[in-house]
Amino acid sequence: MELYPLKFQPLYKYRIWGGEKLKTELGKNYSKNMIGESWEVSDVNNDETIVLEGPLQGLTLKQLIQRYKGDFLGETVYTTFGNNFPLLIKFIDAKTPLSIQVHPSNEVAKSRHNSFGKNEMWYVMQAEKEAELIIGFKEKLSPEQYEQYLKDGKILDVMNHEIVSKGDTFYVPTGRVHAIGAGVLLAEIQQTSDITYRIYDYDRTDSTTGKKRELHTQLAKDVIDFSVQESYKTNYNKTTNQSNDLVHSAYFKSNFIKIDGTLNKDYNNIDSFVIYICVEGNVEIEWKKDVFTLKKGETVLLPASIKNISLSSTSCELLEVYL
């Protein structure tokens, strides 16, 4: 059976900090409250997304890889990752702040958890006035100073706070302490990993358990990068009808595409699947005379065997992701 552009059934995740924007802003369909994350494309153990429609409907991401191998992932990607999908794509709605946290590197995650590390990036889709992201430190700290601030409950005082608006983009490598602030809706692209070390959680209680959430102070201590960056934000161009470099890392490449009219894409030089995340408007994807519609808040995966498509829209913004 021939592969085609694939949408997956999102997985909706309760979070202590979740709100309603996945429903009100992105049109997601669920009935529970405090849904903070929509996992769009996932191969996380016991959290695998399944194909939403078409002849392959109901198959998991893992089953697709096992069946189609390099035709699905790209030969190079399949050689590197085997039957494991390397990326996890999410939308995140923070009604209240996420915990201050850090992710371990590939090496540490492998030895401690038999997992990938968690290098990730954020693309802000909507933000309330004065809403912020916390990323990195604003001043150089020693591990001892960091521990004292943490002990005194003053870690927020030495974090770098960034007031954000739509389109702001940040790369969050492993080791960089970070948190999404209240009032931010964003798209997140990350390695396939669910390993998070929680450092500080505002001393709050989870209403579903009646308990405070676990902190991982000791685990986090030796993975933190204490270096201070001149700037944490990613600058990029927004030239219409072309792929503009966004975050290009060793773990994934992402581009920003603004479409007005028709854009023909040729992926013969890319030995990888391609994921489109629609962050504004809607777009028609034409492939072999079939037309697939993608609207804001939706994600589609183009298997590596698809090399030529056209994108048509009067006003659309996409994130383009591949390895």
Mean pLDDT of 291-319: 98
What the block records as the tokens of 276 is: 């489109």
| 69: confidence class by pLDDT, cuts 50, 70, 90 | very high
pLDDT, residue 200, reads: 92
pLDDT, residue 217, reads: 87
Q: What is the pLDDT of residues 142-170, one digit of tens each?
A: 999 999 999 999 999 999 999 999 999 99
pLDDT, residue 288, reads: 95
Name the β-bridge partners of 104.
none
What the block records as the tokens of 156 is: 């927020």
Which residue is it, tokens 């939403």?
Answer: 52
DSSP codes of every residue in 63-75: HHHHHHTHHHH-H
Please choose, from the candidates 171, 179, 183, the residue with its C-alpha nearest in 3D space to the C-alpha of residue 123: 171
Does position 300 have pLDDT exceeding 90, yes or no? yes
Q: Is 105 exposed, middle or buried (0-12, 13-18, 19+ CB in 10 A)?
A: middle
| 104: confidence class by pLDDT, cuts 50, 70, 90 | very high
Q: What is the CA radius of gyration of the chain?
A: 20
pLDDT, residue 116, reads: 86
Q: Distance between CA 17 and CA 186 in Å, rounded?
A: 14
Mean pLDDT of 2-18: 97
Mean pLDDT of 83-93: 98
pLDDT, residue 106, reads: 87
Q: Distance between CA 72 and CA 255 in Å, rounded?
A: 21
Q: Distance between CA 81 and CA 51 in Å, rounded?
A: 21
Q: What is the pLDDT of residues 18-28, one digit of tens each?
A: 999 999 999 99
What the block records as the tokens of 289 is: 């005379």
Q: Distance between CA 292 and CA 298 in Å, rounded?
A: 12
Q: Distance between CA 147 and CA 153 in Å, rounded?
A: 10
pLDDT, residue 151, reads: 92
Q: What is the DSSP letter of 143?
A: H
Supply φ then ψ for residue 64, to 5 degrees: -60, -45
Q: 119 and 191 in contact (C-beta within 8 Å)?
A: yes
pLDDT, residue 194, reads: 87
Q: Distance between CA 120 and CA 297 in Å, rounded?
A: 19
The DSSP element (H or E) to which 296 belongs, if any, is none
pLDDT, residue 163, reads: 98
Mean pLDDT of 127-140: 96
Q: Distance between CA 303 and CA 3 in Å, rounded?
A: 7
**Amino acid letter, residue 163:** I
The DSSP element (H or E) to which 31 belongs, if any, is none
* List of domains in the chain: 11-221 (2.60.120.10), 243-322 (2.60.120.10)
Please choose, from the candidates 67, 126, 132, the residue with its C-alpha nearest in 3D space to the C-alpha of residue 96: 132
Q: What is the pLDDT of residues 235-248, one digit of tens each?
A: 999 999 999 999 99
What are the residue ranges of helices labelled H in 12-121? Answer: 21-24, 61-68, 70-73, 75-81, 106-113
Mean pLDDT of the chain: 96
pLDDT, residue 279, reads: 98
Q: What is the pLDDT of residues 182-230, one digit of tens each?
A: 999 999 999 999 899 999 999 899 888 999 999 998 899 889 999 999 9
Does position 125 have pLDDT exceeding 90, yes or no? yes
pLDDT, residue 98, reads: 96
**Amino acid letter, residue 31:** S
pLDDT, residue 285, reads: 98
Does position 1 have pLDDT exceeding 90, yes or no? no
Long-range contact list for 9-13, CB < 8 A, 24+ apart? 9/49, 9/50, 9/51, 9/52, 10/38, 10/39, 10/40, 10/49, 11/38, 11/39, 11/42, 11/47, 11/49, 12/37, 12/38, 12/39, 13/37, 13/38, 13/39
pLDDT, residue 7, reads: 98
What the block records as the tokens of 145 is: 């100073």
